[in-house]
Amino acid sequence: MIKIEPTGESLGATISNVDMANLDQSAFDEIHAAWLEHLVLRFRGQTLDDTSLAAFSRRFGKLDNAPIGRGGDYPIPDRPEITIISNIIEDGKAIGGLGNSEAVWHSDMTYVDMPPKASLLYGMEIPNTGGDTWFCNMYRVYEDLPEAMKTRIAGLRCKHDSTRTSSGSLRTGFAEQYSPEEQPGEDHPLIVRHPETSRQALYLGRRRNAYIVGMSAADSDVLLDEIWDHANASPHSWAQKWAVGDLVLWDNRCTMHRRDGFDDAERRLMHRTQVQGDIRPAT
Ligand code: OGA
Ligand code: MN
């Protein structure tokens, strides 16, 4: 019997009594339903190698491959689905992404036409302090908007910037500055309807370089600041405080996440997978 313990906050649940290596369809269906209900699931005390992490992740859909590194290959060449998130430096080179700095509120890769549905992050080395990952429930953030704001933003689309990571660094191949119209990225409705739950959620991606299509840059910034002030002040968040062996799965369609920074003298190592999206976000 799978055990589901909600965090008591607006999202998140800890799942136990799961045998990940031998997950039958009915156990998977329970996990999937819990995921749609709680948005973020945490499985503690796992011992997963990359093959079992990829196999469990694949139950949720086709996986994206990791971005190709500067060396021209995947981070783990025989497991292209695995991305490394880490501050560890080996032979003068970062073995993974995001370093040790704070990562701002974001959903993953919303700057593409069909953003990922889910990401899974598996904690392998964890610093003693810092590096918590915060999640927020974007259904609740939407529902809490003043009615006048819901009406005002209905039908508006926002351009999602593809040039920078959530820790602020410029991705390779992009310029420092673009005009709002030329900013690389895709636009999506500000209010989206979740394809599986049919619930509406606020869909923000990330703040930096975001632009509301058709507005002047100044008017777009004023409106986005107002919406983001509301999201930043929202009580509908929960922090994952990592332990080695935690596997965390989030629904990228109705949550944002951010990460606290941590001391670079400590090591943090996570292996990560990402489940492909198959439709364009729609209201
Ligand atoms: C990610 C991410 C946060 C973290 O993997 O998409 O934002 O806690 N990670 O490392
Ligand atoms: Mn992320």
Q: How far is the CA of 106 from the centre of ligand 1 (A)?
A: 10
259 Cα–ligand 1 center, Å: 7
The separation between CA 163 and the C-alpha centre of its own chain, rounded to angstroms, equals 17
State the pLDDT at residue 212. Answer: 97
Is the pLDDT assigned to residue 243 strictly greater than 80? yes
Q: Mind listing the pLDDT tens digit for each residue in 61-83?
A: 999 999 887 778 899 999 999 99
Among 166, 240, 241, 255, which is best to mutate for testing ligand 1, by the most ligand atoms less than 8 A from CB? 166
Interval 158-167: pLDDT, tens: 999 999 988 8
pLDDT at 78: 92
Measured from the CB, is residue 110 less than 6 Å from ligand 1?
A: no
139-163 average pLDDT score: 97
Q: Looking at residues 117-137, what average pLDDT do you find? A: 98
State what percent of residues in the chain have pLDDT above 70.
100
Other CB atoms closer than 10 Å to residue 227's CB: what's the count?
22
- C-beta of 118 in contact with ligand 1 (< 6 A): no
Q: Which of 133-137, 177-181, 222-226 has the lowest mean pLDDT?
A: 177-181
DSSP one-letter code for 64 = P
Q: What is the three-class DSSP state of 31?
A: helix
The residue-averaged pLDDT of 90-119 equals 96
| pLDDT at residue 152, as a whole number | 98
Closest ligand 1 atom to Cα of 259: 8
pLDDT band at 180 (very low <50, low <70, confident <90, very high): confident
* C-beta separation of 67 from 98 below 8 A: no
Question: Which ligand ends up closest to the CA of 268?
Answer: 1
Q: Which atom of ligand 1 is least distant from the CA of 257? A: 7
The per-residue pLDDT for 17 is 93
pLDDT given at position 55: 97
Q: Quick one: CA dihedral 174, 188, 140, 219, positive or negative?
A: positive
Whole-angstrom Cα Rg for the chain: 19
Tokens of 100: 């040790």
Mean pLDDT of the chain: 96
| Centre of ligand 2 from the C-alpha of residue 107, in Å | 6
